[in-house]
A = this chain, B = another copy of it.
Amino acid sequence: MFDKLLEQVRGESPQRIAVAAAHDKRVLEAVFNAKERGVGIPILVGKEDKIRQYTDELGIDLQDTTVIDEPNHMQAALYASNMVRQGEADLLMKGILHTAEIMRAVLNREKGLRQGNVISHTAILEIEGLDRLLFVTDAGMVIDPSLDQKIEIILNASIIAKALGIEMPKVAVLSALEIVNPNMPSSLDGSTLTQMNRRGQIEGCIVDGPLALDTAVSVERASHKDVKGSEVAGVADILLVPNIETGNAIYKAATTFANFRSAGVILGAKVPIILPSRADTAESKFLSIVVASRVATYLAEQREKNKR
């Protein structure tokens, strides 16, 4: 399913990607893979000597690529973020620096990309045997979201799902069971968010919970457990997890236990942010670029539509 997405993105204008602290081999491999396939135009901000050394080693030609020498990580992050802010780049990508550093740049008043929304992470998983991509959120940014934050996290993930062709994403509010247990807050939030969705307080998606992971994604499991009154059980696109540990564990289980392909994108700032984990493979970093590019194009299309 990532392959189908890649085909689509190859037909669209390549996005200019400002890479903060770009002096990392896997990151360079990923962005030049994107360049080669016509998906992205890398703009490298970081230690120029290391960038030149690694690209040499990887056999990458830097001829027509902008390289900005900024050895300081925080300065590189601010520079890259400011480029996006000024309209000189379309996407921001994390290189070898810490998440906290790039996020500090994103949230910077003068050079940053904040726009007042919750900034959240969505992991996209290609599970073997599943007929669709699975979106898991928040698996990497918001630690212990409040109910208000959960709503915005759902909306952020829904934008990504819509950009990837799912018109009305089905959101499962994840818990450890399918019935309400007054002692399990995640199951209470499941009910609340479901009802808010039914009342029109959360729009553009179908929300239902509480659901456990198996009954959310597997029709067979959902029917065996006889889950009642759910439009999402078995067919969920998005899993809203109650806390970062649950999201992280699902993401890591899929990639470590089973080697499934994955991507991750941060949404809620002015543009999508590509913020891979250090341990992610070059392929996963590349797929994150592909998803972020599609989302950026989708958001531009939406802006055009709203203008008319």
Spell out A's residues near B (CB within 8 Å).
127-130, 139-140, 143, 174-177, 181, 183-184, 186, 212-215, 217-218, 221, 224-225, 241-250, 252-258, 260, 278-279
Q: How far is the CA of A265 from the CA of B143 in the complex (A)?
A: 30
Q: Is the CB of B257 within 8 A of A258?
A: yes
**A143 touching B183 by the CB < 8 A rule?**
yes
Q: How far is the CA of A176 from the CA of B241 in the complex (A)?
A: 13
A245 and B242 contact, CB distance less than 8 A: yes
Known: A128-B258, A176-B244, A213-B248. 6 other contacts (CB 8 A): A213-B256, A221-B256, A224-B279, A243-B245, A250-B253, A257-B260
Q: Which B residues are CB-close (under 8 A) to A213?
A: 248-249, 252-253, 256
Interface contact B183-A225, CB-CB below 8 Å: no
Interface core residue of A130, A212, A257 (most chain B CB under 10 Å)? A257
Which chain B residues border A184 with CB–CB below 8 Å?
143, 244
Interchain CB contact under 8 A, B256 and A253: no
**Chain B proximity of A79: nearest CB distance (Å):** 26
Whether B225 lies near A256 (C-beta < 8 A) is no
Of B143, B225, B248, which is within 8 A of A279 by CB?
B225
Instruction: State the CA gap A140–B177 with chains docked (Å).
Output: 9
Q: Are A176's CB and B248's CB within 8 A?
A: yes
Q: How far is the CB of A47 from chain B (nearest CB, A)?
A: 19
Residues in B neighbouring A215, C-beta threshold 8 A: 279
Considering the complex of A and B, which 7 residue pairs feature the smallest CB-CB distances, nearest first?
Answer: A213-B252, A176-B248, A253-B253, A214-B256, A214-B252, A176-B244, A246-B246
A143: chain B residues within 8 A (beta carbon): 176, 181, 183-184
Residues of B within 8 A of A176 (CB): 139-140, 143, 244-245, 247-248
- Beta-carbon contact of A245 and B278 below 8 Å: no
